[in-house]
Amino acid sequence: MIRLLLIVLLALLIGTGLSLGLEYDLGYIRISLGNYLIETNFWVGLGLLVAMVALIVVAMNLFRRFRQSSGVVTGWLARGNERRARRRTTQGLLALAEGNWPRARKLLASSASHADTPLINYLAAAQASFESGDHEAVDELLRKAFESTPGSDMAVGITQAQLQLAGNRLEQALATLLRLRKQSPHHPFVLKLLKNTYLRLEDWRELSKILPELQKRNVMADDEFNELQRQVWHNLLEQAADDCRRQRQQDPEASLAPLTRLWDELPGFLRRDEQTIKDYARLLADLGDEAQTETLLRKVLRNHWSDELVNLYGRIEGQKPDEQLLLAEQWLKDRPNNPELLLALGRLSLRNQLWGKAREYFETSLRLRRNRETLAELSRLSAHMGEEEASIKLMMQGLSNDNGLPELPMPKA
């Protein structure tokens, strides 16, 4: 009530002041604009000025309200685009899962700019393009994926490497993975992809360099890792042997240093591995160094018995064949019924020109186990001893065993 009385009182005072002011001549206002001249009473000019200010204020308020309303419209449109993008992204992922590559690529790529996670859209669209065989589109979509999300270079790079491997673009995949490894040297999945790439490129030397890191990062199960090591070093031994052969073609007296040096580099467990020892011994023997092969096998068989290695021992010629035979006969005391050792003894007896002893060893081995190698050796020995009928009979037995012939009635001679 008091506020209302104050407002009325203030209005009366203003009105009284204006009425008294109008009675006095305060002069006029004169405005010159180019060739135009405007003159007006002071009070009229003041009224016009107030009216202009009021119009400006009204115009500003209208403009502000318009901007606010347009922002609401813009927000509404943006939310609509996001809803459509989510719907199209879902449809695109479903199409990708169903194998509808063209539709998946179209939906995912077109909705990426308004999607919540454009990186996923572009990566999935790149997968769809790869399945369609459009490698140029793959590269373009991966570039957009990288640009769409800061810090996505590792995710994009891994996807790119996987697609390059799947497309058998091995050199490009290797370049991508080496770049990623510089950024993250210990990334387990990058190491795994790099291992797969080296395997397919058969780059055994480079693969051997990352074996310690593969083991340290537990990229593979222990059994799988050990098998990979065997494969890598087996192929490296083969390559070293090939290098020795090429050197000996130019220089028959060239050493076997590339092969023996690589043997010294092998991990300890592989130097005790039966199959690896057999591979190395076989390569040494093939390259003509049977003396070193005999020394190696003798040391191994002294502490670790192996039928495969004793078979190889009977095939090679050491520096002293007579001592080689005596050593094998010492082994026979502990293994009197070992057919492989008896076969090896028969061959060592032949090397020492002990024909009768060789025949006894072969026959004893055959009684313990019918083996085509033993049959062939006894057949060959019988032929050279003039026992052609026995040789032919043994040969026929070997052929029957090798071909798995069934027991059938035969005419009598």
Angstrom distance (rounded) from CA 276 to CA 200: 22
Query: What is the residue type of 187?
Result: H
pLDDT bracket for residue 112 (50, 70, 90): confident
Domain boundary assignment for the chain:
322-400
DSSP string computed for 110-149: HTGGGSS-HHHHHHHHHHHHHHHT-HHHHHHHHHHHHHHS
Angstrom distance (rounded) from CA 67 to CA 73: 10
The answer, yes or no, to whether residue 317 has pLDDT greater than 70, is yes
The answer, yes or no, to whether residue 279 has pLDDT greater than 70, is yes
The answer, yes or no, to whether residue 248 has pLDDT greater than 60, is yes
Mean pLDDT of 29-51: 64
Angstrom distance (rounded) from CA 392 to CA 405: 17
E strand or H helix at 2, and its extent? helix 2-22
Q: Let me know: does 303 contact 274? Beta carbons within 8 Å.
A: no
In the prediction, which pLDDT does 409 show? 59
Q: Let me know: does 285 contact 293? Beta carbons within 8 Å.
A: yes
In the prediction, which pLDDT does 203 show? 95
In the prediction, which pLDDT does 202 show? 95
In the prediction, which pLDDT does 78 show? 45
CATH label, 322-400, candidates 3.90.1570.10, 1.10.760.10, 1.10.3720.10, 1.25.40.10: 1.25.40.10
Least confident range of 118-132, 169-183, 374-388? 374-388
Provide the 3-class DSSP secondary structure of residue 40. strand
The answer, yes or no, to whether residue 51 has pLDDT greater than 90, is no
Q: Percent of the chain at pLDDT above 70? A: 78
Q: How many CA atoms lie within 13 A of 127 on its CB side?
A: 21
Mean pLDDT of 141-145: 89
DSSP string computed for 41-88: EHHHHHHHHHHHHHHHHHHHHHHHHHHHHHHHHHHHHHHHHHHHHHHH
